[in-house]
Amino acid sequence: MSSSPPSPTRSVAADAGKAGGTPAPLLSLRGISKSFGAVAALTDVDLDVSAGEVVALVGDNGAGKSTLVKTLSGVHPPTSGTITFEGREVSVASPAAAQQLGIATVFQDLALCENLNVIENLFLGRELRGLRLDDVAMEVRSRELLKQLSAKIPSVRVPIAGLSGGQRQTVAIARSLLGDPKIIILDEPTAALGVAQTAEVLNLIERLRERGHGVIMISHNMADVKAVADTVAVLRLGRNNGVFDAATTSAEELVAAITGATDNEVTRRASRSAGGATTAAEPAGTTADKEGDADE
């Protein structure tokens, strides 16, 4: 990850998207609530995702990020609220229904079979020609897909056990792409990854944006969020707590929105080290998005 200043063009584009005028969002949630018995996990949550937009979904533990993702992926249908997908109101009753609509989810435990190779994992459950596997076509398709994602996989014939965490994440994401989804939801894609592997996955998310997918990324890492996201949606205690433009919002502001307080150790320390209130411009050094100029 390089640190170049945030691109001004991006924020304009993001603002245009958010204005809701010209390109209607691909997916929009309105007033989503979900309760488990007496516990309200989500209350009146709104979220918009456009094609070619990366939305980071951030929030503290228990803020409802996972629940929101699960309502979208059909694991827990919402108690109330509407989901509009490509201009139509839809109900996502099951994971299969989500797949059908074109919403793919990559959960944190990637659910790959370590004993099978990359091709076998990519096509697991949807092999071509069941009685006499068409492994040529599957290998061609796998290579194409990984090439489009500029994935660094040593060989598509190595078992998953031989791949690094970042490479596994890549395979899991590539697998979700096989169904040709419009929206891809990534649940903490960079958790437990090293620096280089994180960069690899963030590059991959850039590829997804370039391909025109809408991406929802759950993350705890503000540097990652600032690096790839266009928009940051903050959840706090099951409610919306602001939607920010990633390029113009500082990590401190995001942390403040997440925790619900501007006065905490992170902001105090930032202001101490920068020696003033103008701190927010360059936090943490690595937050800017290197591909910022490329899109739009």
Partner 1 sequence: MSDVDVRPPAAAAGAAGAADEPSGLRGSVSALTARMRGGDLGVAPVVAGLIVIWTVMQILNPVFLSSDNLSNLTMEMVPVGVISLGVVFMLLVGQIDLSVGSLSGVSAAVTAVLFVDQGFNPWLAVLAAVAIACLIGWVYAQVFNRFGVPSFVITLAGLLGFLGLQLHVLGPKGAINLPFDSRLVTFAQLDFVPPWLAYTLVVLAAAALYGTGHARASARRKAGLTATSQRVLIARSVAVLAGLVLAVWYLNRDRGVGWMFVFFLALVVVANYVLTRTKYGKAVYAVGGNVEAARRAGINVRTIYTSAFVICTTLAAIGGILAAARLAAANQSTGAGDVNLNAIAAAVIGGTSLFGGRGGAFASLLGILVIQSISNGLTLLNLDSSYRFMVTGVVLMLAVALDSVARRSRASAGRA
Interacting residues with partner 1 (CB under 8 A) = 107, 109-116, 118, 120, 124-127, 130-133, 136-137, 139-140, 142-144, 146-147, 150-151, 153-159, 161-163
Shortest reach from residue 46's CB to partner 1, in Å: 29
- Give how far Cα 194 sits from Cα of 53, 106, 198, Å: 25, 19, 6
For the bound state, the minimum distance from the C-beta of residue 177 to partner 1, rounded and expressed in Å, comes to 14
For residues 15 and 144, which CB has a smaller minimum distance to partner 1 in the complex?
A: 144
Q: Is the dihedral of CA 141, 53, 100, 153 positive or negative?
A: positive
Token pair belonging to 260: 């619900």
Residue 52 and residue 116: Cα distance in Å, rounded?
A: 32
In this complex, which beta carbon is closest to partner 1, that of residue 18 or of residue 141? 141
Calpha distance 170→150 (Å, rounded): 10
In the complex, what is the shortest distance from the CB of residue 266 to partner 1, in angstroms, rounded to a whole number? 36
Instruction: Quote the least distance from Cβ 170 to partner 1, whole Å.
Output: 10
Nearer to partner 1, 18 or 207 (CB): 207
Amino acid occupying residue 16: A
CB atoms closer than 10 angstroms to residue 98:
24
d(CA 262, CA 239): 18
For residue 92 the two structure tokens come to: 């996502």
In whole angstroms, how close is the CB of 191 to partner 1 at the nearest point?
A: 18
Q: Which is nearer to partner 1, 12 or 111 (CB)?
A: 111
Q: Residue 119 carries which side chain, given as an amino acid letter?
A: I
User: Of 26 and 204, which CB lies nearer to partner 1 in the complex structure?
Assistant: 204
